[in-house]
Homo-oligomer: A and B are copies of this chain.
Amino acid sequence: MKEQIWDQIQTVRQQAPLIHCITNFVVMNSTANALLAAGASPIMAHAHSEMNDMVSIADSLVINIGTLDEYWVESMRLAVKQANLLGKPWVLDPVGAGATAFRDVTLKEILQFHPTIIRGNASEIMALANQNTSLTKGVDSLHESNEATEAAKQLRVEFGSVVCISGATDIIVGSERIIRLSNGHSLMTKVTGMGCTATALIGAFVAVNPKDSFMATVSAMALMGVAGQIAAEKSNGRPGILQINFLDALYQLSEEEFLNMVRIS
C-alpha cells in the first residue's frame, strides 16, 4: 500500500489538478501554498455569479465552513450542486461543527448533497453525527480520534462519504475498510489551519483519483502526516518555522523518506 500511496503523490505532482476552494479567510494563503507545494493548482472563488463556471473548470471542490456567513453558504450550495451535476468529487471540512446552531443547520443541509469525503477532528465528526452533546471548544477538538469512530461509521452509512477523523492518529473510514495513520507531531496543533490544509490536500488527491476516494483520502493524509512530522522534527519546538518547513517538506519529499517514515495500520 505504501508504494501505491507514493504513486498517488507523484500523480498529483505530474497532473497538477485545479482545486476550487471555498474556504475560510484565516487559511486561504496557507492552503494555497500547501496545494502549490504538493503540486496542485489552487483557485479560491466564491461569487455566486461564477460558481457554475468555476466548478466546471476545476478538477475537484473543497468546502470549508470556517468563516461562513449567509452569502458564503449560498456559494457552497451552488458549488456543491454543480459538482454533483457534473460528477466532480468534493470534500467537506465541517470547521467548528457543534459550536453554533448556524454551523449545525448549515452542515445538516450540506450533508444532504452527499460529500464525496468528509474530514474533521474528532469533536467535529461527533457533532456532525449528533453524538456530541456537549459544546465543542471553537475549532479545537476535545476528543481523541478513537472516540469518533462510531460517528464516522454512521456518517459513512448515512451519506455514503469516506470519513476521515484527523488527530494524533488519523482514522479513515471507507465502505469496507478502516485505515489508521500515525505520523504527524503535536507541534502541528500550534499552527492554525493544519486541518484545513489536510482537507485541501484530500481535494488534490481525489481530483487525480476520483474513482477511489478512499485511497485518495488515505494518500493525502499520509502525505500530510509525513510532511508534518519531517517539518516538526526540524523545527525544534518552534511553531513559527514549522509552517515554513512544512511547505518545504511537502515540496521536497522523496520516495525514500516517505516509504521509511509512513506508518499505516
Contact = CB atoms under 8 A, between A and B. Distances in A.
Contacts of A66: 44
Interface in A73-96: 96
A32 interface: yes
A138 to B, nearest CB: 4
B41 A67 contact: no
Given A28-B25, A247-B240, A101 B50 contact: yes
A151 B43 CA distance: 24
A33 B28 CA distance: 14
A7 interface: no
A175 to B, nearest CB: 32
A137 B36 contact: no
Given A46-B67, A57-B99, A32 B192 contact: yes
B47 A69 contact: yes
A139 B53 CA distance: 14
**Max chain B CB contacts within 10 Å: which of A26, A68, A189?**
A26
Interface of A: 18, 20, 24-30, 32-33, 36-37, 41-50, 53-54, 57-58, 66-71, 96, 99-103, 135, 137-140, 189-193, 237-241, 243-248, 251-252
